Amino acid sequence: MTHMPFSLPIRSNTCCIGQEPLEPNQEIVSVLIGSKDSYERFDYCVDCWEKEGKEKHHSQAYWRFIIPEKPAAPPKTRDEKALILLREVLVQEEKPARDLAWILSLYLERREQLIKRQEKKGTLFFEIVDTQEMFQIARQPLSPTEMIVIQQELKSKLS
Ligand SMILES: [Zn+2]
């Protein structure tokens, strides 16, 4: 047995009779007519189906279904999450936020999301590559232990 490769016609975005838009969460009726490698598809809003389609296609296979929601936006990457978090902590004054902003900046610089443009007396000036926004951040003197704690915290926030 051999199968001819063919592609099924894709659902239309409008009703084949009244041209009403067919949208997610809407119930519609679809009919597929043809055989082998030649198919024609008709998509109806329920109103037009009841008024015309039902009778026209009474002998053909049809199915009723609800158009699913569009798939959700792809999950954000680690770097995107890190940039969002950086924006949040940059405006906070408390030490934990400063420390976090510092570690995030180093991480994002390594990831080439930030470019260091200048350093003056322990203050670094970074530019966000995507938007060319500048911000400054003071070097935070952190012990190795503090670094590890913050890196752990980041790991869970960005996963
Ligand atoms: Zn219609």
Report how many domains make up the chain: 2
The per-residue pLDDT for range 106-138, each reduced to its tens digit, is 999 999 999 999 898 999 999 999 888 889 999
The per-residue pLDDT for range 81-104, each reduced to its tens digit, is 999 999 999 989 899 999 999 999
Q: How far apart are CA 48 and CA 17, in angstroms?
A: 7
What single-letter amino acid sits at 128? I
Is 110 found in the same domain as 45? no
* Contact predicate 10/40, CB 8 Å: no
What is the distance in A from the centroid of ligand 1 to the CA of 13?
11
Is 91 found in the same domain as 34? no
What is the distance in A from the centroid of ligand 1 to the CA of 64?
14
**Domain end residue (candidates: 52, 71, 90):** 71
Is 153 found in the same domain as 127? yes
Q: How far apart are CA 53 and CA 47, in angstroms?
A: 9
What is the distance in A from the centroid of ligand 1 to the CA of 49?
7
Provide the whole-model pTM.
0.55
Residues within 5 A (CB) of ion ligand 1: 15, 17-18, 20, 45, 48
Structural domain of residue 35, as residue ranges? 1-71
**Domain end residue (candidates: 71, 99, 122):** 71
* Contact predicate 140/98, CB 8 Å: yes
* Contact predicate 73/43, CB 8 Å: no
